[in-house]
Structure 1
């Protein structure tokens, strides 16, 4: 039989320094993960302790300033061992220096005060090994109880100490896991803040006021901590004409952000040089090819639609050129929805001699134009099929929006209704001609970033 590894005592007075109690309580508070759901490790400890001692009851408890809390129990519900520190056998174990053994609780006046002794289940034998943190503070104990007086041999007490050490290891693992989770949450929060900040730099802070027109835009990011490649803008050209564009670059993250910045700058600069929509997209295509020259990486590319607004009486003539982008929707004053699709427009930046198609339409009073990225039309409906632009057109027609703001509200509701069917970012730009220009909203046209 092996010799005991720590001093045993049956009825010695507590040897804990009262001046150290505040530090011990602080150590206990750091291990509150004992209350968190685990993988059953503590329950297995109590089961094994009861088996080793051939006893009906075993527990794992911690002792804070005033209370005893049970982390796991075998033989009785854990609630039976929750109690005040003043009368608890488990508190006595923490106050004791080493393994505590009380062969007969009725022979110990302090032990007899415990409700588990004086009432049910009538504990007569008690043994405990302290759960000691790496810094030396005793947090609680692994306890074994029997309903008859008895002795414990050295081998049983050594095993009890081993089980207490296993509990310490489990608590350390839980604390490390909690710290890891907290660190990950902090990193994710930082990444989300950085992504939101970077995303805002890729979008105009506000859309300018265009006389006789109302403009609104929104950005619905799919991921809060990843920068997307969707973009839009509205800006003045020569005379009284205005340019606008909306598109989507390949990829996500920092590379997509850099490409988006290049595309936005190029579109604006190309429009100043030659505002013809097809020429603007052709210039962008040339720049993307030059950017990739000599590189072994996949070529940078994007889809985009570029348009020019020109006042025409009480409305606007809109000339659109598309490069591999989903069609725009013209929402007429009578509620009808028309597909505005420059036929044959090809991806920008990936083909040797791409073709960019162009189409012109007129927006009269009460009409609106909706542009969007494919995160919307490639979203899955409840039936599992893609929404597609036909589904979007049907939805918009049923919603009967009155103007740019209503269009954005309708799209927001649609994205929310699709829920998990949405798997990509969506940018939306809406332009509308008020029926009564003098009744147009007085506030600045707006753009927003909305997380759905």
Structure 2
């Protein structure tokens, strides 16, 4: 209540209202900090806040517009007295008009007289709104939306009104961020599950297993794995990590995974596939950075070709041999530099041998160098069935605490078995 009391004191000191009037205003102001509001769902909370804001400021309309993911438009999200804004999906450009100016400046804007020269939203004009006041909704210093109120009669808003509306905007911002975070995480998890099945497809001659675990600190991210049969009869498999976390990273991951599959149908050359994939990322995902390891295996001969776009080297285990890292020279990550050259590394997977691929969430910790984590993984793995190798790796590297970053691993073991004729 300190912020509320400060508003009350400022109201009296500024001469906006008398002490008696201030007490009445304070009583009404407490309606927006009512603990009972916390029991409402986010949508109901925003609707109730807008209703109470109209009463508090004696306004005829109130609305919330949120900045869209591109950062260029405001989208009508909740309204009281202007419900058609939400029903019609009103979108307004940031930087233009009344609401757009509030978002661009990050400061309150008051208009004593609304007309077509200062307001872009036709609904305000058709409803007969005369005066408006808008304040930014903030997440730290970032503008995430605009809260505005309007009246159907001329009104000169005061500093007191601005401060009251700021308090409402703060409450609405917290609720909105909580809602967006939950939606983002739920959508990202659903997308990850749809793209990363619990067990990769069965392939004759191979024993395959995989794991995916969201990070404890950041949740679902852009880590992924894939394995698929190629028209040539060979098997393509990949693992990758899109920089960032949440829904955005998961969506980009899905696009990259699908594009890699498409390019893999056109060529069995892993370096060529990653070259094409990098060109796609550079053009359509200009702000994205991702690491990928892509390999093509002939199950009948064990011939293996790998190409790395900045990804960590895989671990190779063989019967009666110590595990070792395959010396794949990493080229630049996807999205790092236009026309980056990419190379292939030839290798061989003997019968009974297993190739283990992983993302940095498995081995990287703030408390130790990355190379030490990779060495711990190499030392923990021995030649075993693919599922056992995944279990061993997760137990060895995630025994003391959950990974802060998301983790994806893929084990591909060559059994030497042939498909039935």
TM-score range, shorter chain: 0.5 to 0.7
Match of 1:93 in 2: none
What's the CA shift for 1:201?
2.4
RMSD: 3.6
Deviations 1:12-33 (A, max 9, x none): xxxxxxxxxxxxxxxxxxxxxx
Match of 1:277 in 2: 270
Separation in 2 of the partners of 1:424 and 1:431?
23
Q: 1:187 to 1:325 in 2, by over 3 A?
A: closer
SS of residue in 1 equivalent to 2:188: helix
1:307 aligns with 2:295: yes
SS of residue in 2 equivalent to 1:216: strand
SS of residue in 2 equivalent to 1:229: strand
Match of 2:194 in 1: 201
Match of 1:251 in 2: 244
1:289 aligns with 2:272: no
1:419 aligns with 2:401: yes
What's the CA shift for 1:228?
0.9
Q: Is the 8 A contact 1:305 1:323 kept in 2?
A: yes
- The equivalent position to 1:261 in structure 2, one of 243, 254, 259, is 254
What's the CA shift for 1:221?
0.7
1:237 aligns with 2:224: no
1:351 aligns with 2:337: yes
Q: Is the 8 A contact 1:321 1:359 kept in 2?
A: yes
Equivalence map 1:121-136=2 (5 Å): none
1:385 aligns with 2:368: yes
Unaligned runs of 5+ in 2: 1-29, 46-174
What's the CA shift for 1:317?
1.4
Deviations 1:378-409 (A, max 9, x none): 224xxx213x2453344443453512111110
Instruction: Report how many aligned residue pairs link the two structures.
Output: 263
What's the CA shift for 1:346?
1.3
Match of 2:386 in 1: 404
Separation in 1 of the partners of 2:373 and 2:223?
21
Unaligned runs of 5+ in 1: 1-168, 293-297, 441-452
Q: Is the 8 A contact 1:246 1:304 kept in 2?
A: yes
Separation in 2 of the partners of 1:410 and 1:224?
23
Deviations 1:238-279 (A, max 9, x none): 232111111011222232223212211111111111120000
Separation in 2 of the partners of 1:417 and 1:326?
21
1:365 aligns with 2:358: no
What's the CA shift for 1:281?
0.4
What's the CA shift for 1:176?
4.9
What's the CA shift for 1:202?
3.0
Match of 2:303 in 1: 317
Separation in 2 of the partners of 1:176 and 1:258?
34
What's the CA shift for 1:376?
1.7
- The equivalent position to 1:430 in structure 2, one of 411, 414, 419, is 411
Superposition TM-score, scaled by structure 1 size:
0.51
Separation in 1 of the partners of 2:381 and 2:266?
40
Separation in 2 of the partners of 1:205 and 1:376?
18
Separation in 2 of the partners of 1:426 and 1:321?
21
Separation in 1 of the partners of 2:293 and 2:35?
53
Superposition TM-score, scaled by structure 2 size:
0.54
Q: Is the 8 A contact 1:288 1:349 kept in 2?
A: yes
1:338 aligns with 2:338: no
Q: 1:289 to 1:180 in 2, by over 3 A?
A: closer
Separation in 1 of the partners of 2:353 and 2:305?
15
